[in-house]
Structures are given as C-alpha cells and as structure tokens.
Structure 1
Amino acid sequence: DALELRTIELFKEIGWDKTANCYHEWQDDKSSLGRSSRKELVLVPQLRKALTRLNPDLSTATIDLAVEELTRSRSTLSLENANREIYRLLKDGVKVTFQDANDEEAIETVKVIDWNNPSNNDFFLASQFWITGEMYLKRTDLLGFINGLPLVFIELKRHHRRLKAAYDDNLRDYKQTIPQLFWYNAFIILSNGSKSRIGSLTSSWEHFSDWKKINSEGEEGIISLETIIRGTCDKKLLLDIIENFTFFYTTKGELIKIVGKNHQFLGVNNAINAVKQIQHNQGKLGVFWHTQGSGKSYSMVFFAQKIHRKLQGNWTFLIITDRDDLDKQIYQNFAYADAVTEPEKNVRANSAEHLKQLLKEDHRYVFTIIQKFRVEKGQTYPQLSDRDDIIVVVDEAHRSQYDTFALNMRNALPNAAFIGFTGTPLMAGEERTREVFGDYVSIYNFRQSVEDKATVPLYYENRIPELQLTNDDLNENVRDIIENAMLDEDQESLLERQCSREYNLIVRDDRLDKIAADIVTHFLARGFQGKAMVISIDRFTAVKMYDKVQHYWQQYLNELKTQLAQANVSEFELKQLQKKIQYVEETDMAVIISSSQNEVEDFQNKGLDITHHRYRLANESPGLDEKFKDTNNPLRIVFVCAMWITGFDAPSCSTVYLDKPMKNHTLMQTIARANRVFKEKVNGLIVDYIGVFRNLQDALAIYGSASGGGVEEGDTPVNPKTVLVEELREAITEAKDFCKQK
C-alpha cells in the first residue's frame, strides 16, 4: 500500500490531471467513472469529451462513430493484432465514413490524442481498478488513462518479493483472464520499489528492461521506481515514447511489439536534435555508437520514422551497409516495421546504375551497399542530387572499405547530411570518419549494455595453448589481409601467397584434428546448451572443420551407445544417457559460406566436397539462417569464415569457437554474435584457439583515448573466464554461509 501511495504521489508531482482510488467505484451498480459495466475498459465520457475538444469542427454523430470504433470488441483478434489495430487509430486518427448534409458519403479523420501539445490531453491515474473478463473479476494496481483510454499498466509487488513474480504470476494471468485490458496498452511497468522494469505486451521477461536515466546520457543512472516513472510517464516523454518509439514487426508468423529502451530513446533524440541543427553542424550529424547487440538497427528505424513524422520536409534516407546480406537484412528490418512500404526492387539498388537512378528519384528510403558508389579508375563520380533533405545513414561507418567510396558519396550528394551508426567505437587512425560524420552523437558502451542487461557479458578462454601460434609466427600481415579481405573471399589466395608459412601452420591437418575433437568435447559439456559458431580462416578450412567435427561427433556417439549397451547403472543415469544420445543424434550442423565461380573444382582440388553444403544453402526451406535462429531447431553448430560474423542475430547462440586471426572492429563484431539476451543464458563464451585474446589489452588499446571518449579503463567487451570462475566461487561461499546460519 505504501508503495502504491508513493507512486500515486509521483504521478501528481509530474503533473497528471487527476488520480483516484477506484476500489469503491461501483455503488448500487453504478460507476462513478461512467462505465456501463466492469467489462468496459474505456472511460467513454472522458473519451467523448476529449474527442470533442480535439476535433471542434466535427459533428456529434462523427465523434460518436469514432468512439464506437475505439470501443468495439476485438475479441476475435489475437491480443497483438488487437493492440496494433488500436495503436494505428491512436497514432493516425480514426477514419470515419458518414453521410454529409448533401446525403453524400464523406470521410473524416478524428484525432484521438494531441501528440504535439501534451496539456491538451486528459491524463488520469486509476488505482484499484476492477475489470471483469469472461470468467474472472480482477483488480489492477495502477492504470494510466489518456483521454479515457488505458495506455499504461503498472503492477506493483511488495519489496521483499522477487520482481519476476509480477511477470510470472500477475501479468501472465491478466493477459489470459482480462485480455481486453491489453488491446489499448502502450507499455507495462513492473516494480517492487527497489527494482523496476518496462516492456511491451509481447516482451518475454528477459526483454523487460531498466530505465535509469531521465533527460540525458550523461546522468548517473539510477534503478528506482521514481526514475522509471519520471523517465517514461512525464506527459511529454510518455507521448514521445508512444508516438515515436513504438513499432510492430512480424517474424516467423509472430507479431512482436517493440518499445524503445532507455538508451535508444535518449540516443535517437540526441540524433534528432543534431538534425534540427543541420545548418549549424553542416550536415555532420555525428557517430552513433551503441554496442553490438543492443538494438542499433531498431534505433535506425526509430530515428528515420520520427524525422518523417515530426520534422517538416520531404526527407529521404539513404541507408548504406558494406555487405549484401546486411543490406537485405536492414531493408527487411524497415519493411517488417512498416517503415518501408515500397517493394524491395523499387528501393534496393541492384547495381551501380540502379543506385544512380534511385537517387535521382523521390523515395522515402533507398538501400544500397557502399561498393555501388564505384567509378572507373580516373573518373569522378557524378553529382546526382543537390537536395539538402537527404540523410545518409551509414552502418559500421568506420570500416576500412568506407574511405574508398566516401568521396564518391560526397560528389553524388554534396548537400546531404551524414550520420554513422556503429556497434564498435572509433579507433586511432579513423580521423577520416570524423571528418565526414563529426563527433559522437550518442554513446552506449560495452559496460553500460551489460549492466542494463541489454546484452549478456562475454568471457573468453584460451584452449589448447600448445596449438596457438606465437606472435612471431602470426604477424600483423595476416590480420591486416584478413581484416581487409572481409568482403571478398576470392582474396584468400592472396593470404596463402603472402603469408604462406603462417597460413600453413594454421590449417595443418593435425592441428585442426585436435581442435575438432576439442570442439565436440567442449560443446557437449557446456552448462547452457546454446547454439555455436565455428569460425575458420577461410572457406576451405570451414568445410574441412565441418568434416572433422562430424568425424569426432560420430566417434563420441558410438562411445555413448557402447556405454548404454554395457550400462550397469541406475535408472536415473540410464535416462540421462538416453537423453544425451538423443541430443547428439538429432544435432544438425551446416557450413555457411558465400559462393564463387568454379568453386566445385577449387574445393575438389583440396580434396573437399562443397556440393552438399551449397545445395543446402540454396534449397533448404526454411533457410539455414531461420533454422539457426530458431531455438527449437536442431541446427546447432554452423561453420563460417566471413558470412554471419557481422550483423547476424541468433539470440540462443552462446559459444563462438574462434580459429581465425582477427583484430579491430571485425573481431569485436564477431565475438558479439554470442552476446544477445536469451532466456536463461547468462553469458556468451569465446573459445580462442588462435591466441587472439592473448594480448587483449593490446587489441583494445586502439579504442583508447583516440576514440574521444566512450571506452574507459576496465570497460572491455570480453573478460577472461577466470573472472566467471571467481564469481562462481564467491556464490558458492555465500550459499554455504547462508546454510550454516540457518
């Protein structure tokens, strides 16, 4: 009760118009709020009053039709579809068809919320609000109404209760028993006073997040109910979140509602402010560094959508990546979020000439890879548009490939503004990037991301150190060539020629055999049994590793079956053995590599067969990417060398087996494949066979002071596994002490 009363006081402090305890709302079967029954969620008198105020030129009959549309039952729809349908009405108004004075059909749009003037809306907080479902009568803790519509749901627990109980017990129950409450919901806050989290109606528990900062990224972040209420329910901030930081997207037939997280809300609004000052900053909108896995691609959607909606002008966004698979993925993100409505062939450049054509036309969005800004040697790229309302959004703007084409982009679009989105910080020697984009516009670093549980922490372990090459063997040339050959796997021959000694040490058969055997043992002995990626130096080695792991996998399976045949064990142990055999038998593996000309012959020359793998990549349905992302699909290990190591999200992937020399951004992006939040996964693990992390601090020094902020002492994206082991020891000691006290 004390927590509820304090929360109500908070809403009064932030200027909500009215609060009321509705426990005794019903007297003699009559509601003091004007509801006709407890099943009715919308406060119709307040809604009608607000619509009349917001639409002074519309007739009473038109307002009545809008009220009818907003309050009609949506019980035939899924919860998510009902919510999306109502969200569109809130955001864009209710289209009403009626007969006008001349008895002709007319259409009017009825505004439901005044997004630009918060004080022009009615904000009401109800506590102890009774709702009847089909079979059950429920009472909610706090409901926030805007213009009579229940948009904010707050569930409170006693301070000594685990916060997850609010999700497991209350929220899940309400969704089942009083689903009509969530038709209207904008977001959900769960709190026990000391801990508070926010999420959408489709968020699983692990995707409910903290909201630590209210006004700026520079604030000291505080986890408290007061911070989350002031940061999300202040009238102006609340309308901004609902209007501009919410979208729906469909994946695998499931409708997901995304509500921006605290770092996205603050970071994107920083970027919007840079656009508002476009004359002052001369189109250098800045570098938006948010750690890999913390939702950077969603931030891009929020950024573009808010500009289209809130800033005057005929804005075009040119969104640039440097790999074809990333280009397709980023287009799909925008399309799934309903931001892009044009067909893919109309907005995704399929050639350098097609790109030129698209930039001369008028599109809200254009997608391309940067290599399409190419010209013949000695030629200058032509000017395509002198518009000053084009915003060039470059993903991973600091990669080495970027410099080559930056000038061509400038020549093509001399008056465009530029913003760089990146998952890794700028490093020493990247002054050129800053010349084009300006300084950081938003920073959300490795440490913040882990602390906020936006990503899970990463740990590494060096396994089989005798197989790792010393620094003398593995010179900088190898890493440089690999770093620069990321886009073109045909350059592998260059690697073999220029670094033949080092290359041959890495791909030696006996070395790969030991690693393959170790991968099998390690993979099957892990605690959290997530999916895994094996990363090899090139395509040939990826296929070779697949063959070798398959060999040792079968050997392991045969050993298990022998144990089962000879089993003189308890029934429990027998079941465990059978369960393990089933897991090993059903586990699928695949090679993911891009194709090249004459590859069948090239692989055959090395004693390898690519045809089976190519067939699977080309024909399997659902695709291998979908299978790997699907937690329940038995495709559990993939063998890669360049594809999927940047910009590919499979949240259940928890282990990366690294046997490829790497450095800089490519290394950081690769290890981030294991940092996605997923159910009971508590960390990602990088198993280092090549010795990349032997000199971790050297690898990270490039991100030091040269980056102009963002990377601080001790702020590393990955820590040695010994740190995790130490945490385990401490937890065991605490548990023992607790037991002794009892």
Structure 2
Amino acid sequence: MSRRDYSEDLLVQEPAAAFLEKTLKWRSVYAFDSETYGPDSLLGRKDRSEVVLTRELIVALKKLNPKLPDSALAAAMVALLDADPTKSMLQHNEAKWKLMRDGVSVKIKSADGESDERVRVIDFDKPDNNDFLAVRELWVKGTSWDRRCDIVGFVNGLPLVFIELKRHDKGLKAAFDDNYRDNKDTIPQLFHYNALVIVSNGVDARFGALGNGWDHFYRWKRLTEADADPAPKPDEPPKKPLLPILLEGMCSKKNLLDIVENFTLFDSSEGVVKIVARNHQYLGVNLAIANLQSNSPHVATGHLGVFWHTQGSGKSYSMVFFCQKIHRKVSARYTFVLMTDRKELDAQIYGTFVNCGAATNKGDKARNGDGLQRLLKDQNRRYVFSLIHKFHEQVKENWSLRDDIIVVSDEAHRTQYGRLALNMRKALQNAKFIGFTGTPLIDGPEKQVTRQVFGDYVSVYDFQRAVADGATLPLYYENRGEKLQIIDPELNRRIEERIDAAKADGELTPEQEEKLYRQLARDYPVLTSDSHLGDIASDFVEHFHQRWRLMEPLTKPGEAIRYGGNSKSMFVCIDKVTCVRMYALIKTRWAAKIDELEASLVYQEALLVKSGKEVSPFVERLRAHVAWMRETQMYTVFSPEQNEVQDFKDWGLDVRPHRELISNGIDGRSLEECFKDSQHPFRIAIVCAMWLTGFDVKSLATLYLDKPMKGHTLMQAIARVNRVAANKKNGLVIDYNGMLKSLRKALATFAQGDAGGLLSALSRHRSGI
C-alpha cells in the first residue's frame, strides 16, 4: 500500500470499521492482502466476481426458515442471485429490495399437492438474529478493471452498505465524484443489493440512495430531535465529526433494518427514483408511530398530534412512510383517510402514494360524498383519498364505528375546525386524527383549537433546521414593486380586510378568492390597469432574462459554453383574465429583448471579425444567451370555469388557445410534466392559483408575485422555490405587490421556530439578479 493509502486507512477507515465493530456490534474483517478463495476462505468467495457471500446467505436462510425444505431455499438463492442483463442497475436494486423486504415467493411440492411459501431473507423483527459483517478493502472484479472498496457492509451475506472514505484533508464531494461514481460504473453488480451509500472524510459524512446526485446526498446530524446541530449550515464544516453520528443513526442493526424495511421507496412519478428517508423524516415518523402505540389519554381519545415539517422537506413521503410502517409493524387492519382541502393537494398526495406503490387500488379516491361514505364503510380498504368538502352535507348517523381508522389531515389547520370537520368527526366518531403541516398556527386562539382537534406536536422540523440540513434552500426577497413605484399600501390594506371579512369555513377557495377580487370595484381596475401590468411585464423580462445561466455549473476552460436550461420561473397574477393579459405583454417584450440581444450579437461578431480573432468567450456566451431566449417557452396555467369563453371575450380575449394547451399539453406531454422536467424549454409559468399548493418543481428558482396574498396562502406560495436541485443555491421571491408586511405577519403566525432565520433572509433587498 502507498503512504497515501496507509494514511487514509489509519486515519479514517480503521476507526470507522472499529466503530461498526465495537459500538454497533458488527463483525469486521480486513480483506485487502489476506483474502484467499474457496469454501473455507475468509469470506467463502470462489473469486472476486462474487459480490454476495453465499456461505453466509445459505446459513441465514436455513436459520430463518427451519421448516422449509432445501429445495425451497435453493429456489430462493436462485432468485436472489439472478442478474438479468436486460434490467438496469436501479431495476435490479428495486427487485432485490422487494425480495429482501417481503421474502422470496417459492412453490413447494408435497404429497398433498403444491403450495406457495415465502422464504425469509432478513429477520426484521429481531435484528440480532441476522449476521452483520463489515469488510474492509474488498476487491471486486469489474467490467474494465478490478476495484477495491473501502468498506462494504453485508447483512446475511448481501452487500447492503457501501462506504467510500477519503482522508481528513480531502473534500467530501471527491469521494462521490472520483470513487463512488466510478465504482458504480465498473462494478454495477455490487449495487444490485445496495441500501445505503455513505461517503466521508472522517469528519464530514453524507449518505444517499442509489441513483441520487450529489445534491441529494444528505448529512445525518442527530440521533434525536432534541440533539443540538453539530453543523449549522450545509456548506460549513461540522463542529464535531459527523461520521459516528451517521453510522450510529443509520447502521446500528435496528436502524439499518428499519430503514430497509420501512423507510425506502421507489417513486415512479418522474422516471424511477429511489428514496431513502432523511434524518428528520426517520425521526419524525418513528415519533408519530411511538405516540400511536403509547397509552397516552390523548391517543385514546383519537388525538395523534401534529406533525410539523416545513414545506419542501418531503412531507408527502413522510406520510407514505408513516402509513406503510403502521401497516407492516402495527396492524394491517388500519384504514388511512388522506384528507386535504385543495384539489391540487389531493391530486399530489394521491399521486405520491400511487407512484410509490403504496396505494394500488384505483377506487381509493372518493368522487363525491356518497362515494366517500361507501369507501369508509369498506373494512378492507387500506387507503381513502378525499377532499374535506365531500362532508358538505349534515351527517346524521355514524358512517363507521371502527377505531382503526386514522385520518391524516394535510395542512390541518385550514379547514379542520368548522362545519365540514364537524361532519367528518360525526361520521367517524372513533377514528384517530393526525395533522401533517408545513405551516402550523403558532399564535392566536386557533392554536388552542389545533391542540383540541389533533393534540400536541409529535415532531417539529422548522425552516432554519431544514436549511441548515440542506433539506430545503434559503429564500431571498426583493421588493421590485417599490423600485417601480407601483405599490399602494392603503389599497393592500383594503384588500386584506375584504379577504378577512369574506372568510367563512377556513381559507377561501381559489374560486372564491378570484370572485372577491372582481368585486373590488374600486381597486381591481388599479391592480389590472394596462400601465400597471405593462410596467411589471417589462421589469420581469429585464430581470428573468439575466438569470439564464443561474443553475448551470461554471464552464471549464476549453469546454463549449452551456446555457441555463434549468432556470425556471413562476409569475403569479391576481386572476385568470390577468394571466392571459400578462402572457401577451411578457411575450411581446420577450421578443423585443431577443431582437435587442441579436443586434448586439451581430455588432460583436463584426468586431470579432475585424479584430482577426476566431474565438471570444463573450460572443459565445451571447450566442448561447440568444439561443436560450429563443428556445424558452411560456404558458398560462389555470383551472377551467363555466362560461369562461364568454367571460374572456368580454375582455377582448380568446381563452380557447390557452385552454387547448392546458388540456392537451405539449407534444403529448402535460404542461405539468414539461414544467417539472428541468431540461424542457417551458420555463415561464403564469398562474393565479393552480400550482401554488402541492406542486413541487425542483428547478423552479424564481417566484414573481403580483397578487395580494397573506397568511397560509402566501407561505405556501413562497415555498414553491425552496426545493433542492443541482447547482441551485437559493430561491428568490420578487415582490411587485409590497407584501413584506404581510410576510412578516404570516411568519409571526405560522413560523415561530423559523421566523428569525427565514425573516432575515427574506428581508434582504437584493440588487441585480
């Protein structure tokens, strides 16, 4: 070994292996120069091509399935070792995970005929009943050359954990870029069984799931929610080593098997993506389930608490983890009612459960009140998805007296206290209720109502902690309406008063809100005048066209100039008519800006020819900029409405081309799918209500607001731009409506734990782009 290898081994690898062995009670062996081959060798491998320790696997299968014949165990071995050349690495990984989690289905012949049995591969209930082995310096035969892996963690002979280590003085990302990615390419068979990928330099440490990019490799920073944060910011070095915390949190025998069984998903919504729970999701869901299993008097009366995880931190996945673990570990008899108060949220949550394979029955979604009642009376129904508005009719008798129904209310505080909620609770008197929210009510009289309805917090993950963990991105605020001198504080105050006065049963629906704006006979013409919209459209084009390279990595010398296909924006208008008007104004000014840049390009190209130079980085960049602008597509997105053709015609507008695009999409793909695709040129979405709730677009970096908003609606809107994406550093909120006061008030109401950090970021008036 070289001195460098020796340093890495001595300073990082050896302590990591020692921690696994002495603290977490794994077996540990060093294979670099001591492994021989054959049945009685160190690992029992026949040669370097074997990535499964078949000797340990056979022993485990016999131990876990003492009543099954050898023929059944042999059939299970064949299924576990199968390597189909037509499958991708991720397809193999998902297939092996299902075999490990659910067991291998085999047929057994006997004198009485043929029967179906399941061969257990891992004992998830008794972790110590399995074999945990950490192998250092494991050689594996590769497609091009052999690779040496720092540490591979085997459970019952299956390689579940891959650990890549660097010296203390090396950057953590180098372990990902230089070693892990190369290993994945050259020894893909090792990753067919992988549950966790860990990279560390002994001080810092991150984990990810197979297929995740570096931007979705995360730290595991705490063993309980109450632990202090050892690394306050995602890009800062930690104050104390994170590797021991990560290893204990993820690789202790109990936790590793819990993660494999209950905190792993394969989401097919945008291609297949593997999801492993992050630190806060794992801790939060287990706290919520522990509360369910407690003998607390609150639980006995149906109060399972409030699960507060800030927007953008994976709350929908946490719901899936919560429900699936209860089904697997507590009781399969539970029926979960996923209750929301927004069509977009209902569609998003239903889609998440379906795409992750949790909900498989197309009839789980209630179409109307009668359908909901029918679903809730079905004792074999695992999931029911519904809007709370389907409880609009007075409930006179119980729909179900079962005590094994759990109502999961998303954004619980908005509509869970009025007539609709009262009807729901009359219909399901013995049900249990848990509220999942990203923006809970913190102050005021409704805080006590929240506790009365759901109970106390069972898990809290606020904005500051989410940003520090890198689970969400920081948000920045710029008041460009003030610069344009188009803000009227008195007008905003009158609108807020009208909105407050119009509230009846929770928040206004988008339709109610839009009608309210039109009823503001005195103020609506001011907010939608040609001069007002024209000034904003011009400023939008000036601002957004400069963000064209926002999320692109820096181009290295000698490389072709790349352009910013990833940078997307959302413009929020007051209503549907204004969306269409703003679309026309932006499109005209966008074309004018292209003409302006092209004229500049022609001039610069002439100067380049005159100078006798062949290449100019400035000219190349300008060419790429013009190409990006020409390629950029923009569309309006809003829900259909009765008589909309005539309503728009009254404004001199034809809504039919817009409705056709919204309905049919682009080249066979829906507008939603295209906007979520970071490489698609649909980069400017003009909306008024749709896509402001329950709509996650990782590459959405800039939100432009020209709509009076407040409270929960405002908090939901600004969270659209806090999602993590490659090379995205932050989200930016551009305010044309002077809503900083409303934002401060919303933060005071909805974000006690995160108000300081979020407000300090959002209060910055940024210049430039």
TM-score interval for Structure 1 and Structure 2 normalised by the shorter chain: over 0.9
**1:13 partnered with 2:22:** yes
Q: Secondary structure at the match of 2:537?
A: helix
Instruction: Name the stretch that deviates more: 25-34 or 12-21.
Output: 25-34
Q: Which residue of 2 aligns with 1:738?
A: none
Query: For 1:489-547, what per-residue CA distance to the aligned partner results, in whole angstroms no more than 9, with x for missing partners?
Result: 255333332x3333222112101101000000100112515100000111111111111
Q: Which residue of 2 aligns with 1:614?
A: 659
| 8 Å Cα contact 1:482-1:662 kept in structure 2 | no
Aligned runs of 1:630-645 on 2, under 5 Å? 630-645=677-692
Q: Which residue of 1 aligns with 2:254?
A: 236
**1:90 partnered with 2:100:** yes
**1:246 partnered with 2:251:** no
For 2:761 and 2:652, the matched residues in 1 are separated by 37
Q: Which residue of 1 aligns with 2:228?
A: 220
Aligned runs of 1:85-164 on 2, under 5 Å? 85-100=95-110, 102=111, 104-164=113-173
Note the C-alpha offset of 1:622.
0.3
**1:549 partnered with 2:566:** no
For 1:643 and 1:402, the matched residues in 2 are separated by 25
For 1:583 and 1:723, the matched residues in 2 are separated by 25
Q: Which residue of 1 aligns with 2:323?
A: 304
Taking a change above 3 Å as real, the CA distance of residues 142 and 532 of structure 1, as seen in their structure-2 partners, is: same
For 1:554 and 1:160, the matched residues in 2 are separated by 51
**1:357 partnered with 2:377:** no
Query: For 1:283-317, what per-residue CA distance to the aligned partner results, in whole angstroms no more than 9, with x for missing partners?
Result: 11111111111000000000000000000351000
For 2:331 and 2:415, the matched residues in 1 are separated by 35
Query: For 1:449-502, what per-residue CA distance to the aligned partner results, in whole angstroms no more than 9, with x for missing partners?
Result: 1110111100000114143433322112255379877524255333332x3333
- Among candidates 5, 13, 35, match of residue 4 of structure 1: 13
For 2:47 and 2:70, the matched residues in 1 are separated by 24
- Among candidates 291, 298, 303, match of residue 284 of structure 1: 303
- Among candidates 12, 15, 33, match of residue 43 of structure 2: 33
Q: Secondary structure at the match of 1:257?
A: strand
Q: Which residue of 1 aligns with 2:337?
A: 318
Note the C-alpha offset of 1:135.
2.8
Q: Secondary structure at the match of 1:472?
A: helix
Taking a change above 3 Å as real, the CA distance of residues 419 and 485 of structure 1, as seen in their structure-2 partners, is: closer
Q: Secondary structure at the match of 1:698?
A: helix
Instruction: Name the stretch that deviates more: 680-689 or 536-545.
Output: 536-545
Corresponding letter in the other structure for 1:217: E
Q: Which residue of 2 aligns with 1:449?
A: 466
Q: Which residue of 1 aligns with 2:445?
A: 429
For 2:468 and 2:388, the matched residues in 1 are separated by 34
- Among candidates 515, 522, 526, match of residue 501 of structure 1: 522
Instruction: Name the stretch that deviates more: 232-241 or 386-395.
Output: 232-241
Q: Which residue of 2 aligns with 1:513?
A: 534
Note the C-alpha offset of 1:74.
3.4
Aligned runs of 1:265-276 on 2, under 5 Å? 265-276=282-293
Give the alignment's TM-score, normalised by structure 2. 0.89
Q: Which residue of 1 aligns with 2:364?
A: 347
Q: Which residue of 2 aligns with 1:477?
A: 497
Instruction: Name the stretch that deviates more: 21-30 or 364-373.
Output: 21-30
Note the C-alpha offset of 1:56.
1.4
Query: For 1:69-115, what per-residue CA distance to the aligned partner results, in whole angstroms no more than 9, with x for missing partners?
Result: 21233343110110111111111111122433x28433321111110
Give 5+ residue unaligned stretches, structure 1.
729-742
Taking a change above 3 Å as real, the CA distance of residues 28 and 277 of structure 1, as seen in their structure-2 partners, is: closer
Taking a change above 3 Å as real, the CA distance of residues 196 and 148 of structure 1, as seen in their structure-2 partners, is: same
Taking a change above 3 Å as real, the CA distance of residues 674 and 711 of structure 1, as seen in their structure-2 partners, is: closer
Q: Which residue of 1 aligns with 2:627?
A: 582
For 2:139 and 2:389, the matched residues in 1 are separated by 60
Taking a change above 3 Å as real, the CA distance of residues 81 and 206 of structure 1, as seen in their structure-2 partners, is: same
**1:78 partnered with 2:126:** no
Taking a change above 3 Å as real, the CA distance of residues 711 and 563 of structure 1, as seen in their structure-2 partners, is: closer
Q: Secondary structure at the match of 2:436?
A: strand
**1:489 partnered with 2:527:** no
| 8 Å Cα contact 1:79-1:182 kept in structure 2 | yes
For 2:501 and 2:702, the matched residues in 1 are separated by 26
Corresponding letter in the other structure for 1:266: L
| 8 Å Cα contact 1:533-1:637 kept in structure 2 | yes
Corresponding letter in the other structure for 2:542: T
Q: Which residue of 2 aligns with 1:419?
A: 434
- Among candidates 316, 328, 337, match of residue 347 of structure 2: 328
Corresponding letter in the other structure for 2:734: V
For 2:261 and 2:692, the matched residues in 1 are separated by 34
Q: Which residue of 1 aligns with 2:275?
A: 258
| 8 Å Cα contact 2:510-2:689 kept in structure 1 | no
Q: Which residue of 2 aligns with 1:49?
A: 59
For 2:647 and 2:305, the matched residues in 1 are separated by 45
Q: Secondary structure at the match of 1:702?
A: helix
Query: For 1:565-600, what per-residue CA distance to the aligned partner results, in whole angstroms no more than 9, with x for missing partners?
Result: 444333524333322222111111010111111001
For 1:723 and 1:655, the matched residues in 2 are separated by 13
Taking a change above 3 Å as real, the CA distance of residues 697 and 712 of structure 1, as seen in their structure-2 partners, is: closer
- Among candidates 395, 410, 426, match of residue 395 of structure 1: 410
Q: Which residue of 1 aligns with 2:555?
A: none
- Among candidates 541, 546, 560, match of residue 597 of structure 2: 560
| 8 Å Cα contact 1:496-1:503 kept in structure 2 | yes
**1:204 partnered with 2:249:** no
Taking a change above 3 Å as real, the CA distance of residues 99 and 330 of structure 1, as seen in their structure-2 partners, is: same
Note the C-alpha offset of 1:695.
6.0
Corresponding letter in the other structure for 1:247: L
Q: Which residue of 2 aligns with 1:337?
A: 356
For 2:161 and 2:727, the matched residues in 1 are separated by 28
Give the alignment's TM-score, normalised by structure 1. 0.92
For 2:508 and 2:585, the matched residues in 1 are separated by 25
Note the C-alpha offset of 1:227.
0.5
- Among candidates 696, 699, 709, match of residue 649 of structure 1: 696
Q: Secondary structure at the match of 2:338?
A: strand
| 8 Å Cα contact 2:632-2:683 kept in structure 1 | yes
Q: Which residue of 2 aligns with 1:681?
A: 728
Give 5+ residue unaligned stretches, structure 2.
1-8, 231-237, 551-563, 609-614
| 8 Å Cα contact 1:446-1:716 kept in structure 2 | no
Query: What is the CA RMSD across the aligned residues, in angstroms?
Result: 2.1
Q: State percent identity of aligned pairs.
A: 45
- Among candidates 473, 479, 482, match of residue 462 of structure 1: 479
For 2:742 and 2:722, the matched residues in 1 are separated by 21
Note the C-alpha offset of 1:331.
1.0
**1:693 partnered with 2:745:** no
| 8 Å Cα contact 1:186-1:200 kept in structure 2 | yes
For 2:383 and 2:754, the matched residues in 1 are separated by 33
**1:569 partnered with 2:607:** yes
Taking a change above 3 Å as real, the CA distance of residues 84 and 13 of structure 1, as seen in their structure-2 partners, is: same
| 8 Å Cα contact 2:481-2:738 kept in structure 1 | no
Q: Secondary structure at the match of 2:492?
A: coil
| 8 Å Cα contact 1:467-1:690 kept in structure 2 | no
Corresponding letter in the other structure for 2:455: G
Taking a change above 3 Å as real, the CA distance of residues 673 and 290 of structure 1, as seen in their structure-2 partners, is: same
| 8 Å Cα contact 2:17-2:28 kept in structure 1 | yes
| 8 Å Cα contact 2:37-2:45 kept in structure 1 | no
Instruction: Name the stretch that deviates more: 9-18 or 611-620.
Output: 9-18
